[in-house]
Amino acid sequence: LVKKEKYLKAPNLKKTSKELNDLTLPLSNCGSCTLYKDSSYHPHNYWGTLNNPDVLFVGEAPGKTEKATGKAFQGRAGQLLQKELKAMGIDSFAIANVVACRPETIDPKYGRLRDRKPTPTEVKNCAENLDSIIAQVNPKYIAALGATAMQRLKIKGGITANRGVMIENDYGKIIPVYHPAYILRSPNFITEFRQDLKTLKGFLEGNKDIAKPQGDYIVVEDPTEVEELE
């Protein structure tokens, strides 16, 4: 039986760099969360400019490389994201995930661990952590990378219909953007991805002329109202 403590300190948290631990997180559900199994999982899976950056990028969950390094977006998708941000001149940013530890499962075909989507319970377990990251980092904009991040931030609607739209709710000013892993799978969508980063850059530069396309989203009261986290 795992004892739940309100402000559980993650045991044996490996510090891979100073910036990883600059925020104080509640970590209140880690002890009973199926994702946090041992000290090889890093509940501080975020990095970047942690003090009022222009943008906080929110992804879904760490993968193998992110678990190994303790830093979000370090693998192929992360490298793509970082390259495109550099090219767009977006340099004041932080990166975090909906869940901080890697959701993994054994691939029945190959017998190796592979990524899986976080379950709604796992998303809920990590909710206080992400809320706390958003509150402490206090970014000007939040880029929700993909549907899981979008739904977690209380926006119900498809990513395709809502990408590049600026949606304001109690989390702040949110712009849904395709997840970079999707771009790796469907490289043609790099055009839309770049377009959305450009829109974001335009907002940062105070460009009032940017057309805000109307999406088909609704803002829900409670993220659990968005049943299908896909």
Q: Which amino acid is at 163?
A: R
CA distance 59 to 73: 8
Residue 135 tokens, joined: 């509150």
CA distance 95 to 77: 13
Q: Looking at beta carbons only, is 42 or 154 nearer to ligand URA?
A: 42
How far apart are CB 225 and ligand URA at their closest, in Å?
A: 22
How far apart are CB 206 and ligand URA at their closest, in Å?
A: 29
How far apart are CB 95 and ligand URA at their closest, in Å?
A: 7
Q: Looking at beta carbons only, is 53 or 62 nearer to ligand URA?
A: 62
Q: Looking at beta carbons only, is 67 or 154 nearer to ligand URA?
A: 67
How far apart are CB 77 and ligand URA at their closest, in Å?
A: 5
Q: Looking at beta carbons only, is 8 or 145 nearer to ligand URA?
A: 145
CA distance 94 to 121: 25
Q: Looking at beta carbons only, is 63 or 215 nearer to ligand URA?
A: 63
What are the angstrom distances between the C-alpha of 10 and each of 7, 37, 87, 140, 147? 9, 11, 36, 29, 28
How far apart are CB 4 and ligand URA at their closest, in Å?
A: 26
Residue nearest to ligand URA (CB): 59
Q: Looking at beta carbons only, is 127 or 210 nearer to ligand URA?
A: 127
How far apart are CB 208 and ligand URA at their closest, in Å?
A: 31
**Contacts with 133 (C-beta within 8 Å, 6 or more apart), sequence order:** 23, 25, 46, 56, 94, 96
Instruction: Kindly give the pairing relationship between strand 218-219 and strand 47-48.
Output: unpaired
Would you tell me which residues interact with ligand URA (CB under 6 A)? 59-63, 66, 72-73, 75, 77-78, 97, 181
Nearest to 164 by CA among 178, 147, 149: 178
